Structure 1
Amino acid sequence: MIENDDDPQRSRARVVHPGEGRLGDLGAITVDFKVWGADTGGALAIVEHEFPPGALVPPHIHTLEDEYSIVTAGRIGFRSGDREAVLGAGGYITKPRGEAHAMWNAGAEPARMIEVISPAGFELFFRAVADMIEAGDPDPERGAALAAEHGLQFVDTPWLADVVRRFGLNAS
Structure 2
Amino acid sequence: MAHEPLSWNGSQFEVLLDADESRGSIGIFTETVPAPAGPPVHVHHDADEILYLLEGEARVLADGHESNLKTGELAFVPKGAEHTFRVTSKEGGKLLIIVTPAGFEGFFAQVAAKGLKLPEDMERINELAADYNMRNIAPPLSAE
Which bracket does the TM-score occupy, shorter chain normalised?
A: 0.7 to 0.9
Q: Residue type matched to 2:111 in 1?
A: V
Asked if the contact 2:126–2:136 (Cα under 8 Å) also holds between the matched residues in 1, the reply is no
How much identity, in percent, do the aligned residues show?
22
Could you tell me how far apart the structure 2 residues matched to 1:122 and 1:26 are? 15
1:86 to 62, 68, 79: 68
Name the structure where strand makes up a greater proportion of residues: 2
Name the structure where helix makes up a greater proportion of residues: 1
The structure with the largest alpha-carbon Rg is: 1
2:14 to 32, 53, 57: 32
- List runs of 5+ in structure 2 lacking aligned partners: none
Pair 22,36 (structure 1): closer, same or farther in 2 beyond 3 Å: same
Q: Residue type matched to 1:129 in 2?
A: V
2:135 to 153, 165, 168: 153
Could you tell me how far apart the structure 2 residues matched to 1:63 and 1:114 are? 20
Could you tell me how far apart the structure 1 residues matched to 2:82 and 2:59 are? 14
Could you tell me how far apart the structure 2 residues matched to 1:34 and 1:25 are? 15
Counterpart in 1 of 2:48? 66
Instruction: Give the number of aligned pairs.
Output: 141
- List runs of 5+ in structure 1 lacking aligned partners: 7-20, 167-172
Q: Cα RMSD over matched residues?
A: 2.0
TM-score, with structure 2 as normaliser: 0.88
Q: Which has the higher contact order (CA 8 A, sep 6+)?
A: 2
Q: Does residue 1:130 correspond to 2:112, yes or no?
A: yes
TM-score, with structure 1 as normaliser: 0.74
Q: Does residue 1:57 correspond to 2:35, yes or no?
A: no
Q: Does residue 1:22 correspond to 2:22, yes or no?
A: no
User: Which 4+ stretches in 1 moved above 4 angstroms?
Assistant: none
Residues 25-76 of structure 1: per-residue CA shift (max 9 Å, x gap): 1204221111111111110010000110111211111101111111010011
